[in-house]
Amino acid sequence: MVSSLVIGRLYTFGVSLLIALIAYPSQIFLFIPAFDNVSTTFKVLIPLNLLVIMVYWNYYLAVQTDPGRVPIEWVDKIPESILIPCNEERRAEGITGPRFCKTCDIYKPPRTHHCRYCRRCVLKMDHHCPWINNCVGYFNYAHFVRFTLYVNIACLYILILLIWRIHKILDDLQHFRFDSEPNTAQVILYVVEFALSFCVFFCVGMLSVYHLYCVTQNQSTIEGWERSKVTRLIRRKRISPVKYPFDIGFYRNICFVMGDNPLLWLWPQQARGDGLSFPVRPNTDPEIPFYWPPRDPDELRPSIFSNRYHQQQQQIHGGEEVIDNNNNTEDYVDSDEYYDSGSLSDSDYSISDEEERLRQPVMRMKRQYRRVSNHKQQQQQQHSPQPISSSSSSNLLLSQSPPLMEQYPESNHHVPLVARNIIMKKDD
C-alpha cells in the first residue's frame, strides 16, 4: 500500500515535470531571443502561459477530486422491485438481478464499477489512470477531459512556434544573416522540445479524440466495452434487442458532462448531480439502468462448483449428496442471484476456476506417478544399471492405485479421462 502510494506520487511528479520541460525551456532559450521587441514577445507568449496554467489547473483538479464513492444511504434509495432476484426466464434473456459488489458488500448504483487499485466502488467509473494517481469517475471526468484538451492545444501551440523559429533561422541563413545561427546547445534543445511536444501531442491527442467521442455518446470506457459486447450478443441473437439507456442525444450528452453553458465547457466547474441517478432515453424501462449491461445467458448458468448447481443435482438425483474420497461432504461455494459486476464473484461461471479444480486430481496423480517412478528407478539401480521404462512405471501405478472411477466420481466431469491421458504420457 505504501509502495503504491509512493509510485503514484512519482507518476504525478513526473507528469508535472514533463509539462514544465515542454513549456518553459523553449520560451526562455528559444522563443524570447527570437523576438525583436517586448510587445511581440508578450503577444505571443502570454497565450501560451495561459494555456500552461489551464493545463496545471485541470491536472490538479483531476488528481485531487474524488471520483465518487457509493454512500451508505444509497441502499435506502433502491426501489424494492429492483431488489427482487430475477427468475429463470429473465436470466435466459441475459438480465440479471441488481448488481452487487461482494468486495465492498454493497449494491452498486447504475454505471458504478469496482476499482481493484483504489479497492472500492467508483461512481460512473471510466478507468484508473496512473498518470493522475486516481480513478477517472463521475466527479473528475470533466476535469480529465479538459486536461487532455488543454495539453493538446498547448503542445500544438509550441510546435507551431518551433516550426516558425526554425523557418526563420533557415531564412536568415539563406540571406547570409549568420547572427541568428543557433549554437550546439540550442540545436539539441530544438530537437528535444520538438520530440517531446510531438510525442505528447500524438499520444494525448488520440486519447482526447476517444474521450470526446465518449462524451458525445455519454458513455465511459468500460461502458464502451459493454456496448460492444451487447451488440455482438444481439447480432448473434443471444439476447433480445436493447438500446443503451444513457444516450440522450448528441448535445444533451455533452451538456451532461461539460455543463449546460457551451461558453464554459472548457472552464473548470463541478459536476452536476450525485452520480447515483442518470437521465435515460425516452421509453426506457426504469429497471434497465440497474441491470445494465445484459449478459450472455450461457455465462449465467451455474458453475459445477456452485451451491445452485449442487441443489439442482440434488433435485435431479433425488436428494443424494456428492461425497468426496474422504467421505466428507463437498464444500460448495455459496452463490446468490445477484450479478457481482466489477469484482470477484464466485457465483459467476468461470472456466478457469473449473479447470483449476479439475487440474488438482490430475496433478496429484502425476506426483504419485513420479514417486512410484523414482522408487522403481532406485530399485533398478540397486540390481541393474538399466533404467525403468515409462510404460512399466505406468502399469505399476495403475495396478497399485485404486480404480480411477472410484477415486473420482462421475460428478467430477471426465476427470478420470483427463487423468488417464496424462498418466499414460511420459512425464516431461
For the entire predicted model, the pTM comes to: 0.71
Q: Are residues 34 and 181 in the same domain?
A: yes
Q: Are residues 251 and 360 in the same domain?
A: no
Q: How confident is the model at residue 357 (pLDDT cuts 50, 70, 90)?
A: low
Q: Are residues 168 and 259 in the same domain?
A: yes
Residue 214 bears catalytic tag: no
Phi and psi at residue 238, in whole multiples of 5°? -80, -30
Determine, yes or no, domain membership for 330. no
pLDDT for 319-337, tens place per residue? Answer: 544 444 444 433 333 333 3
Determine, yes or no, domain membership for 413. yes
Q: Are residues 184 and 40 in the same domain?
A: yes
Determine, yes or no, domain membership for 75. no
Q: Would you state the pLDDT for residue 81?
A: 67
pLDDT-wise least confident of 14-18, 160-164, 229-233, 293-297: 293-297
Determine, yes or no, domain membership for 28. yes
* Chosen domain end from 270, 289, 308: 289
* Chosen domain end from 235, 258, 289: 289
Q: Catalytic one among 86, 121, 129, 155? A: 129
Q: Are residues 373 and 267 in the same domain?
A: no
Q: Are residues 377 and 285 in the same domain?
A: no
Q: What is the 3-state secondary structure (H, E, C) of 100-168?
A: EECCCCEECCCCCEEECCCCEEECCCCEEECCCCEEECCCCHHHHHHHHHHHHHHHHHHHHHHHHHHHH
The boundaries of the domain holding residue 410 are: 351-424
Q: Are residues 253 and 386 in the same domain?
A: no
Determine, yes or no, domain membership for 230. yes
Q: Would you state the pLDDT for residue 427?
A: 45
Percent of the chain with pLDDT over 70: 70
Determine, yes or no, domain membership for 24. yes
Q: Are residues 223 and 371 in the same domain?
A: no
Q: Are residues 152 and 276 in the same domain?
A: yes
C-alpha cell, 133: 494517481
- Torsional sign, CA 342, 344, 346, 348: positive
Determine, yes or no, domain membership for 185. yes
Q: Are residues 246 and 377 in the same domain?
A: no
Q: How confident is the model at residue 105 (pLDDT cuts 50, 70, 90)?
A: confident
pLDDT-wise least confident of 74-88, 135-149, 370-384: 74-88
Q: Are residues 143 and 222 in the same domain?
A: yes
Q: Would you state the pLDDT for residue 296?
A: 78
Q: Would you state the pLDDT for residue 306?
A: 54
Q: Are residues 143 and 213 in the same domain?
A: yes
pLDDT for 364-404, tens place per residue? Answer: 777 777 887 887 787 777 776 555 454 444 454 444 444 44
Residues 6+ apart with CB under 8 A from 45: 27, 31, 32
Q: How confident is the model at residue 361 (pLDDT cuts 50, 70, 90)?
A: low
Q: Would you state the pLDDT for residue 37?
A: 86
| pLDDT greater at residue 294 or residue 333 | 294
Number of domains observed in the structure of the chain: 2
Determine, yes or no, domain membership for 144. yes
